[in-house]
Chains A and B, each alone.
Chain A
Amino acid sequence: MGRDPLPKRVPISRLLVPLICAAALCSSVARGAEGDANDDAQWARTRAEAMKAYKSQVAPFVSTYCGRCHAGNHRKGGVSFQTALKNPAGASFKLVWERAAGQIKTHNMPPDDEDDQPSDSERAAVVEWIAGIKRLSPKDPGLFVIRRLSKVEYGNTLHDLLGVDPQVARDLPDDVFGAGYTNTLSPMLMEQYLAVANEVLDRALAPPGAPPTAVQQRLFGDDPGTEADRKVAAQKIAESLARRAYRRPPSEAEVDLLVRVFDLAAGQGKTYPEALRLMLKAILVSPQFLFITPGPSDQAEEAHAAGNVVPLDDYQLASRLSYLLWATMPDAELSALADAGKLHEPDVLAGQARRMMADPRSQELFEGFGAQWLGLDKLVGKAFDPGKFPQMNRDLRAAMYDEARLFFDSILRENRSLTTFIDGDYTFLNGTLAPIYGMEGTVSGPAMRRVKLSDANRGGILTMPGVLATSSFPNRTSPVNRGVWVLEQILGEHIPPPPPNVPALDKQSEQSVATLTVRQRTEMHRANPVCANCHKVLDPIGFGLENFDAIGRWRDHDDSGGAIDATGELPGGKRFGTPRELKRIIAAHSDEFCRNLTGKLLAYALCRQLEGYDEVVADRLADATAGDGYRMQTLVVGVVTSYPFTHRRLASRGETAHAK
């Protein structure tokens, strides 16, 4: 069952032979019963320790320093710890604690006019505990709610199933991804699914009277001629089509229903191919096709599930893995392993993940995950001042996007260290992008190619033009946005939003600031103590990147004519004077970076926001990845073999994904 040689979804030729690797040993890989018992015991011990720390340190801290305004009947600013104090690990209080940590860490709280101030060591202890609040969570894989295919997944799946161009789905609305994955369905979308189904069938199948297409011949076979034989054939076709389209064996009832659709059309005088066409249309608008649903065999297991947790069946696992790495339905090899009931074996699963990463289709991980993480998905639609940056046309934006995509792919497929994202000494350029690097003399033509960088101020995502451009304003850089980007997307810090009623920063007239550099203007934040708490960390990082203009070109002076001052100091007294030195400081935080990327990838893989119990898993995955030289494939294999990826908790009665 090969992929159809029709329109190619993946433009890159397959250069790499699939790697066959033994499974990586990773602390979180699913293990046998004994391993599970050990794991459960360790989980329980950690919880008990965390609860002890909570009772002895945190509860007293909150009562002493916060209680007067934020406990009991007091809800100053809408913030209360009253219920969080009773159930500190409750999922809904995660945000309360995280925000509290931010306020305590930045000395915003308790307010300065409060006499009773915690010592720095008390602050540090509480902040650290809050970071570890996840350890109070019981072991839990979380819910795995049936999920609608995204627009991209839907188009790719139609391609794999029927050989049509995935662009057939282009008119569907784009999905909103992110931790809070929106996958709702609306009447409009349903109409569009029906319309796309019609379009797909028009393209894949021959019009009435015409000889069958190759796809049609493969799916439907020959017309058996008699009515009775046709019905038998229709049932077989229904079975095989549904097996592929539903990505699992259909139940008897599901096949029966499809045969009834066939009968419906045949009963109204439709020809055999027309009746089969209607059956195929029914498949394409069925929930089993549009959603990833558990197979019928899973129901039996649910009845016997201990602790309300079941492993994913092999078919669900195949889909989950395939949609994560390839954004399409499982291929023949994955399907065969699912049929054989072997896919859930940790070695097999890890081996498949490695095979899939080596395949060019794994570029979908960048399209779905990497582009969002880096913010590159915003580049196409972002406004730039055409007077100032006339070169920011479609070609340049596309080249910037491709640069990031190829860089991400190289790290994934060549199994490089994650630190390459920060300090890589190579990139991908074409003739359009080269002038941004000042390398128009050495690189020309439309094709992107790998280029070694000799200037250490360049290389890595911090200084990549696409990234620098998305975090800029249409007409100038934003050191603040760049600082926030590095802290949040690289190091995983949570930056609290500016407090309401920010005092006016630039009451000055345009003229009085016109002669100041962006840096000088930005530094006015620091004059206000409320702003300074956060901006003393944010701004210096942005200043360190000020040598790059709003579209990523090197410069020594900014628009005001003033010389760029890229020096700065970060908390802990780490100083830098150039982008290169800033990168070196950031690169030294490889553990934070690895942990941050692990959390983001795990959330993407699970299609949901991480809960405390997932954060514990992410900690272990990050440790294991760090222990293996921060290798990208180790991280991905860790995620797909992790407990929450391979298991699911069954919803209790009345519990929904949206439960309050």
Chain B
Amino acid sequence: MRNNLRISRRTCLRGLGVALALPWMESKAWADPSKGAAYKPPVRLGFMYMPHGVIMERFWPADPASYLSSPPPILEPLRPVLDQCLLVKGISGVPIAPLNGAPHALELSTWLTATLPDTERRDVVNIAISADQVAANYVGGFTPLPSLELATMPQTHMEHQEGLNEAYYSHCSFRGPTQPMPAEINPRVVLKRLFQCREAGPAGAKTATASDALDRSMLDLVLGGARDLRGTLGAADQHKLDEYLDSVRSVERRIAAIQQRQIDAAKAKAGVRTGSRAFHDSAPIEIRIPEGDKRSEYMQVMCDLNVLAFQTDLTRVSTYIGSTPNGVSYPELGFADEHHSVTHHNYDPVKLDKVTKINAFNVAQFAYMVKRMASLKEGDGTLLDNCIMMWGSGLEDGNKHAREHLPFVIAGKGGGTLKTGRFLPDVKANQGDLLGTLLTCAGVPQDRPIGNATRPLTEMIAM
């Protein structure tokens, strides 16, 4: 079993001109080996966002029969993997009255919460925990990172729509009702974060391990001090400090998970079986950080990082804001129009074509990611087989800000829980229903509905 089919000891992460050591990548344990259970990779859950909706007639298939053979133009990039996708039409967004003047502040923030912000105190963030974070709370303990949040633009856009807090505009993940999760936009930083890359040989890695252990003990003491401080503070201050306590505990867990992997790696080297990962699984993919400013390359390297994080089981939950609702343009497509302004097309054919191109461009990046997942072997199938990747938008159509039939593509079989290769043309359900169903498929129990959810979408599930 100690042969060249193992994950290679050093994986080159190119683009920076350096090879970065991944010291604890050698071994991974999907399942507790003591139970002797059959090898079953975990289900991973990913979300990818595009703002401003789609041109509906060019996004939805004409009918379930022609779905696979003649996909509409916007879905064309997905053609090779359509049999591994599921399209559900008829998912409505959260009605936003009385916040009618804030369609763009709410398209992203309601997307994974299926909840309207508190309308009484609009200046502070108060919404709901998002579906990805519900999942992270449950499965996040198994991996070094509970969840991964990616984006391609700073989340600092300020537009005071309806007096709502600016954070609503560019955040979709909320760790709790009052706590938006920042997303990382720099691929280099993501890489560093995923692998704590240290440019050091085995000796360097060893001291790093020891210092990690010391850090953990130090953080324990600091946490104790923070709890004492909390006791002396007023209620509002305590609330603020709780975010700190939660975050430090999360860092501690992460260090512990990394230590565990290092122990496993050492055992594997000594010939002790620590995990049930199949040896014919694909090796970790390479990451190449682009040097130019092409949007497609930027979006794709973030896709790659997402794939790598899932493939190496660094996390099982990811959220990728392909772009926030403001200010993106797509010079690669041959026009300078900003995404937002061109979606107010008033049925001008030139603008309709431009929006179609932007939609297809975004779907193509998603397709790039899921095709990559489909090319990687894992267990008896592919990585994609064990994923649930949801692509979509928080608006149906940017022209009129409609929210009746939000566009979604679900890719991946969710470890056999989803029946793909289908287009369900009329499901009559809401965003919360869809999110809740996907969580269930990912094995995440829910003690309360996601946002406005009312029922599980059994029509999506493989019986």
Contact = CB atoms under 8 A, between A and B. Distances in A.
Contacts of A173: 154-155, 182-185
Task: Please classify the interface of chain A as helix (H, G, I), strand (E, B), loop, or mixed, using the class held by over half of its residues.
Answer: loop
A463 B56 CA distance: 42
Contact of B251 (A91, A178, A194): A194
Interface in A246-285: 253-254, 257, 260-261, 264-265, 268, 270, 278, 281-282, 285
A95 B123 CA distance: 10
A473 B341 contact: yes
In this complex, which of A190, A387, A473, A498 has the most chain B Cβ atoms within 10 angstroms of its Cβ?
A190
Contacts of A296: 232
Contacts of B251: 187, 190-191, 194
Contacts of B178: 184, 658
Interface in B236-269: 236-241, 243-244, 246-248, 250-251, 254
Given A186-B247, A188-B182, A500-B100, A180 B234 contact: no
Interface stretch (B217-225, B273-281, B362-370): B217-225
Interface stretch (B3-11, B158-166, B378-386): B158-166
Contacts of A294: 233
In this complex, which of B214, B236, B241, B243 has the most chain A Cβ atoms within 10 angstroms of its Cβ?
B236
A282 B221 contact: yes
B452 interface: no
A644 to B, nearest CB: 15
A325 B400 CA distance: 44
Contacts of B38: none
B218 A264 contact: yes
Given A176-B166, A383-B329, A372 B158 contact: yes
Contact of A501 (B149, B189, B214, B400): B400
Nearest to A299: B232
A657 B239 contact: yes
B182 A186 contact: yes
Interface string B281-324: 00000000000000000000000000000000000000000000
Interface stretch (B57-65, B114-122, B406-414, B420-428): B114-122
A286 B226 contact: yes
Contact of B346 (A177, A278, A381, A507): A507
B97 A77 contact: yes
Given A146-B233, A497-B101, A660-B118, A175 B126 contact: no
A184 B243 contact: yes
Given A386-B336, A497-B161, A497-B162, A180 B123 contact: yes
Nearest to A191: B251
Nearest to B175: A186
A159 B153 CA distance: 27
A506 B212 CA distance: 62
A455 interface: no
Nearest to B248: A190
Given A186-B179, A651-B234, A257 B166 contact: no
A34 interface: no
Contacts of B170: 176
A480 B352 CA distance: 24
Contacts of B400: 501
B167 A475 contact: no
A190 B350 contact: no
A657 B184 CA distance: 27
B348 A658 contact: no
B462 interface: no
A108 interface: no
B186 A171 contact: yes
Contacts of A496: 101
A504 interface: yes
Contact of B160 (A92, A178, A652, A659): A178
Nearest to A182: B167
B33 interface: no
A501 B97 CA distance: 13
A290 interface: yes
A265 to B, nearest CB: 6
B121 A660 contact: yes
Contacts of A174: 154-156
A146 B241 contact: yes
B235 A652 contact: yes
A257 B179 contact: no
A110 interface: no
Contacts of A286: 222, 225-226
B258 to A, nearest CB: 11
A78 B96 CA distance: 10
A226 interface: no
Contact of A185 (B101, B228, B244): B244
Interface size class of A (residues with CB under 8 A): 35 or more
A655 interface: yes
B43 to A, nearest CB: 22
In this complex, which of B120, B123, B185 has the most chain A Cβ atoms within 10 angstroms of its Cβ?
B123
B101 A287 contact: no
A474 interface: yes
B247 A187 contact: yes
B202 interface: no
B125 interface: yes
B346 A506 contact: yes
A287 B241 contact: yes
A195 B225 CA distance: 20
B181 interface: yes
Contacts of B453: none
B455 interface: no
A382 interface: yes
A529 to B, nearest CB: 20
A478 B251 CA distance: 47
Interface string B321-346: 00000011101000011100100001
A79 interface: yes
A417 interface: no
B120 A660 contact: yes
B18 to A, nearest CB: 17
Interface string B94-118: 0001101100000000000000001
A202 B439 CA distance: 43
B199 interface: no
A305 B335 CA distance: 63
A176 B156 CA distance: 5
B146 interface: yes
B97 A78 contact: yes
Contacts of A147: 240
B118 A287 contact: no
Interface string B117-159: 0101111111000000000000000000010010001111010
B161 A658 contact: no
Interface string A413-450: 00000000000000000000000000000000000000
A383 B338 contact: yes
Contacts of A659: 121
B336 A474 contact: yes
A290 B248 CA distance: 12
Given A281-B218, A497-B162, A188 B180 contact: no
Given A173-B154, A302-B234, A386-B336, 13 more contacts: A78-B100, A173-B183, A178-B158, A180-B124, A184-B178, A186-B243, A186-B247, A285-B219, A287-B244, A377-B156, A510-B348, A510-B350, A658-B124
9 contacts: A176-B170, A180-B166, A187-B251, A190-B247, A190-B251, A281-B218, A291-B241, A383-B328, A654-B235
Interface of A: 77-79, 91-92, 95, 143, 145-148, 171, 173-180, 182-192, 194-195, 253-254, 257, 260-261, 264-265, 268, 270, 278, 281-282, 285-288, 290-291, 293-294, 296, 299, 302, 372, 377, 381-383, 385-387, 473-475, 496-498, 500-501, 504, 506-507, 509-510, 608-609, 650-660
Interface of B: 97-98, 100-101, 118, 120-126, 146, 149, 153-156, 158, 160-163, 165-167, 170, 175, 177-186, 189, 192-193, 214-215, 217-219, 221-222, 224-226, 228-229, 232-241, 243-244, 246-248, 250-251, 254, 327-329, 331, 336-338, 341, 346, 348, 350, 400-401
